[in-house]
Structure 1
Amino acid sequence: MEYLLGLLFLICTIFPLIFSAFTPIDNYHISCGSTQSISFQGQLFNPDSPNRPNFSLKTSKDSSFAISNPNSNSSLPSPLYQSLRLFTQAAYYQFNIHQPGHHWIRLHFYPLSNSTHDLLSVPLTVLTDDFVLVNNFTFKNSNHTFLFKEFSINVTSDLLSLIFVPSNGSVSFINAIEIVSIPDSLIEDEVVTIPSAFFTGLSGLGFETVYRLNMGGPVITPLNDSLGRYWENDFGYLHVNNSAVKVSVDPITIKYPSGLTIETAPALVYSTAEAMGDPNVTSPDFNITWVFTVDPTFLYLVRMHFCDIVSEALNMLIFNVYVNYDIAIESLDLSSLKGGLSVPYYKDIISNSSNGSTTLTVSIGTDNVLDFSNAILNGLEIMKISNEFMALDGTLSVHDILPDSVPGKGVKWVQFIVALAFGLLAMALVLVVLRYYCLTVRQRKAQNCSNPWLPLPLIGSGTTHTISKVSMLSNRSGTASCISLASTNFGRVFTFQVIMYATNNFNETLVLGVGGFGKVYKGTLEDGTTIAVKRGNPRSEQGLAEFHTEIQMLSKLRHRHLVSLIGYCNERSEMILVYDYMANGPLRSHLYGSDLKPLSWRQRLEICIGAARGLHYLHTGATCSIIHRDVKTTNILLDENFVAKVADFGLSKTGPALDQNQTHVSTAVKGSFGYLDPEYFRRQQLTEKSDVYSFGVVLLEVLCARPVLNPVLPREQVNIAEWAMSWQKKGLLDQIVDPALSGKLSAASLKKYGDTVEKCLADHGSDRPGMGDVLWNLEYALQLEETSVSFTGGDENSINSVHGTVMEGHVGDKGVNVSYTGGGSHMVNDAPSLVFSQIVNPKGR
Structure 2
Amino acid sequence: MAARSRLALLGLWTVAFLARCLAQWQPRDFYRIDCGAASNTSSGDRHWQGEPPQSPAFASSGISINTSAQNPELPSPAPYLTARIFTARANYSFPVDPGRHWIRLHFYPFPSPGFDPALANFSITVGPYTLFSGGIVDSVRRSGSGGVYLVKEYSVVAEGSELAIVFQPSPSSNGSFALINGIEVMSMPEDALQDDAVLLGQGTATKFGFSRLALETLYRLNVGGASVNAANDTQQRSWVSDGHGFIEGAAAGVGSQDFSSSIKFTKEVPEFIAPAAVYGTGRVLGISNTVSNTFKISWSFPVSPGYSHLVRLHFAELYYTKTYQRMFNVYINNRTAIDGLDLIVLGPRFTPVYKDFVVIPSSGVRSLRVQIGPAPNSNAQFNDAILNGLEIFKMNSTAGSLSDSDGGESSSSSSGRSGGSKAVGAIVGAAVGGIALLALLAACVFVLCCRRGAKGGKKLGWRPVPASQAGTGTSTVTLGFPGSSPATHYSATPANSCKHFSLQQIVDATDGFDNDLLLGVGGFGKVYKGEINGGTKVAVKRGNPMSEQGMTEFQTEIEMLSKLRHRHLVSLIGYCDENSEMILVYDYMANGPLRGHLYGSDAPTLSWKQRLEICIGAARGLHYLHTGAQRAIIHRDVKTTNILLDEKFVAKVSDFGLSKVGPSLDHTHVSTAVKGSFGYLDPEYFRRQQLTEKSDVYSFGVVLMEVVCARPAINPALPRDQVSIAEWALHWQKLGRLSNIMDPRLAGDCTPESLQKFGEIAERCLADRGSERPSIGDVLWNLEYSLQLHDAAMFHHHQRSEDGNSNLARQTPEIPRTSSDGQRMMMSFEENHSEDTTASVVFSQLVHPEGR
Do the aligned residues in 2 keep the contact of 1:215 with 1:233 (CA within 8 Å)?
A: yes
Instruction: Report the alpha carbon displacement of residue 672 of structure 1 after superposing the two structures with TM.
Output: 9.1
- For the pair 1:130 / 2:138, whether they are aligned, the reply is no
3-state SS in 2 of match to 1:252:
helix
Instruction: Report the alpha carbon displacement of residue 91 of structure 1 after superposing the two structures with TM.
Output: 2.4
Distance 1:113 1:375 in 2: 49
Distance 1:138 1:769, change over 3 A: closer
Paired AA for residue 251 in structure 1 = S
Paired AA for residue 349 in structure 1 = F
- For the pair 1:275 / 2:275, whether they are aligned, the reply is no
Distance 1:363 1:767 in 2: 44
Distance 1:603 1:502 in 2: 45
- For the pair 1:378 / 2:382, whether they are aligned, the reply is no
Residue in 1 that maps onto 2:43: 40
Paired AA for residue 35 in structure 1 = A
Instruction: Report the alpha carbon displacement of residue 589 of structure 1 after superposing the two structures with TM.
Output: 6.5
Residue in 2 that maps onto 1:98: 96
Paired AA for residue 365 in structure 1 = G
Distance 2:609 2:638 in 1: 14
- For the pair 1:176 / 2:182, whether they are aligned, the reply is yes
Question: 1:262-661 to 2 correspondence within 5 Å?
Answer: 262-277=271-286, 283-338=292-347, 340-352=348-360, 356-372=364-380, 373=382, 374-394=384-404, 396=406, 500-501=483-484, 590-591=594-595, 600-601=603-604, 608-610=611-613, 634=639, 638=643
Question: Once the two structures are aligned, what percentage of the paired residues are identical?
Answer: 25
Distance 1:504 1:390 in 2: 39
Distance 1:770 1:190, change over 3 A: closer
Residue in 1 that maps onto 2:166: 162
Distance 2:811 2:703 in 1: 21
Instruction: Report the alpha carbon displacement of residue 218 of structure 1 after superposing the two structures with TM.
Output: 1.2
Distance 1:499 1:723 in 2: 34
RMSD of aligned residue pairs (Cα, Å): 5.7
Distance 1:277 1:357, change over 3 A: farther
3-state SS in 1 of match to 2:33:
strand
3-state SS in 2 of match to 1:47:
coil
Do the aligned residues in 2 keep the contact of 1:291 with 1:362 (CA within 8 Å)?
A: yes
3-state SS in 2 of match to 1:36:
coil
Do the aligned residues in 1 keep the contact of 2:645 with 2:652 (CA within 8 Å)?
A: no
Distance 1:588 1:204 in 2: 39
Do the aligned residues in 1 keep the contact of 2:593 with 2:643 (CA within 8 Å)?
A: no
- Deviation string, structure 1 residues 457-501 (Cα, Å, up to 9, x no partner): xxxxxxxxxxxxxxxxxxxxxxxxxxxxxxxxxxxxxxxxx9954
3-state SS in 2 of match to 1:268:
helix
Do the aligned residues in 2 keep the contact of 1:80 with 1:176 (CA within 8 Å)?
A: yes
- Deviation string, structure 1 residues 644-700 (Cα, Å, up to 9, x no partner): 799xxxxxxxxxxxxxxxxxxxxxxxx99799xxxxxxxxxxxxxxx9999776566
Paired AA for residue 275 in structure 2 = P
Instruction: Report the alpha carbon displacement of residue 345 of structure 1 after superposing the two structures with TM.
Output: 0.8
Distance 1:354 1:117 in 2: 40
Distance 2:303 2:741 in 1: 51
| TM-score between the two structures when normalised by the length of structure 1 | 0.52
Q: Which runs of 5+ in 2 are unaligned?
A: 1-16, 412-480, 489-522, 525-547, 569-586, 619-636, 654-676, 682-699, 752-792, 805-809, 816-842, 847-852
Distance 1:588 1:268 in 2: 52
Counterpart pick for 1:239 among 230, 248, 273: 248
Distance 1:763 1:337 in 2: 34
Instruction: Report the alpha carbon displacement of residue 305 of structure 1 after superposing the two structures with TM.
Output: 0.5
Residue in 2 that maps onto 1:224: 232
Residue in 2 that maps onto 1:453: none
Residue in 2 that maps onto 1:426: none
Distance 1:248 1:124, change over 3 A: farther
Distance 1:377 1:359 in 2: 19
Residue in 2 that maps onto 1:4: none
3-state SS in 1 of match to 2:79:
helix
Distance 1:151 1:223 in 2: 19
Distance 1:129 1:602, change over 3 A: closer
Paired AA for residue 160 in structure 2 = S
Distance 1:354 1:41, change over 3 A: farther
Do the aligned residues in 1 keep the contact of 2:67 with 2:112 (CA within 8 Å)?
A: no
Instruction: Report the alpha carbon displacement of residue 311 of structure 1 after superposing the two structures with TM.
Output: 0.7
3-state SS in 2 of match to 1:591:
helix
Distance 2:398 2:724 in 1: 39
Do the aligned residues in 1 keep the contact of 2:73 with 2:148 (CA within 8 Å)?
A: no
Paired AA for residue 245 in structure 1 = V
- Deviation string, structure 1 residues 582-637 (Cα, Å, up to 9, x no partner): x999x996538xxxx9995356876545579999xxxxxxxxxxxxxxxx983898
Residue in 2 that maps onto 1:739: none
Distance 2:737 2:116 in 1: 68
Distance 2:385 2:74 in 1: 41
Distance 1:503 1:174, change over 3 A: farther
Residue in 1 that maps onto 2:84: 85
Instruction: Report the alpha carbon displacement of residue 812 of structure 1 after superposing the two structures with TM.
Output: 13
Instruction: Report the alpha carbon displacement of residue 315 of structure 1 after superposing the two structures with TM.
Output: 4.2
Question: 1:143-162 to 2 correspondence within 5 Å?
Answer: 144-159=147-162, 160-162=164-166
Instruction: Report the alpha carbon displacement of residue 51 of structure 1 after superposing the two structures with TM.
Output: 7.8
- Deviation string, structure 1 residues 353-376 (Cα, Å, up to 9, x no partner): 677432211011111121233111
Distance 1:588 1:213 in 2: 48
Instruction: Report the alpha carbon displacement of residue 215 of structure 1 after superposing the two structures with TM.
Output: 0.8
Instruction: Report the alpha carbon displacement of residue 100 of structure 1 after superposing the two structures with TM.
Output: 1.4
3-state SS in 2 of match to 1:81:
coil
Paired AA for residue 376 in structure 2 = N
Instruction: Report the alpha carbon displacement of residue 204 of structure 1 after superposing the two structures with TM.
Output: 1.2
Paired AA for residue 319 in structure 1 = F
- Deviation string, structure 1 residues 702-748 (Cα, Å, up to 9, x no partner): 6xxx66324xxxxx679897999xxxxxxxxxxxxxxxxxxxxxxxx
Residue in 2 that maps onto 1:569: none
Instruction: Report the alpha carbon displacement of residue 320 of structure 1 after superposing the two structures with TM.
Output: 0.8
Do the aligned residues in 1 keep the contact of 2:607 with 2:749 (CA within 8 Å)?
A: no
Distance 2:719 2:261 in 1: 28
3-state SS in 1 of match to 2:346:
helix
Between 1:159-168 and 1:68-77, the stretch displaced more is: 68-77
Paired AA for residue 194 in structure 2 = E
Residue in 2 that maps onto 1:577: none
Residue in 2 that maps onto 1:709: 715
Paired AA for residue 322 in structure 1 = Y
Residue in 1 that maps onto 2:265: 256
- Number of residues of Structure 1 aligned to a counterpart in Structure 2: 527
Distance 1:610 1:389, change over 3 A: same
Residue in 1 that maps onto 2:107: 109
Distance 1:251 1:15 in 2: 21
Instruction: Report the alpha carbon displacement of residue 259 of structure 1 after superposing the two structures with TM.
Output: 2.7
Instruction: Report the alpha carbon displacement of residue 175 of structure 1 after superposing the two structures with TM.
Output: 0.6
Do the aligned residues in 1 keep the contact of 2:307 with 2:395 (CA within 8 Å)?
A: yes
Distance 1:637 1:188, change over 3 A: same
Residue in 2 that maps onto 1:434: none
3-state SS in 2 of match to 1:220:
coil
Distance 1:770 1:352, change over 3 A: closer
Distance 2:352 2:135 in 1: 37
Do the aligned residues in 1 keep the contact of 2:715 with 2:723 (CA within 8 Å)?
A: no
Distance 1:644 1:773, change over 3 A: farther
3-state SS in 1 of match to 2:639:
helix
| TM-score between the two structures when normalised by the length of structure 2 | 0.51
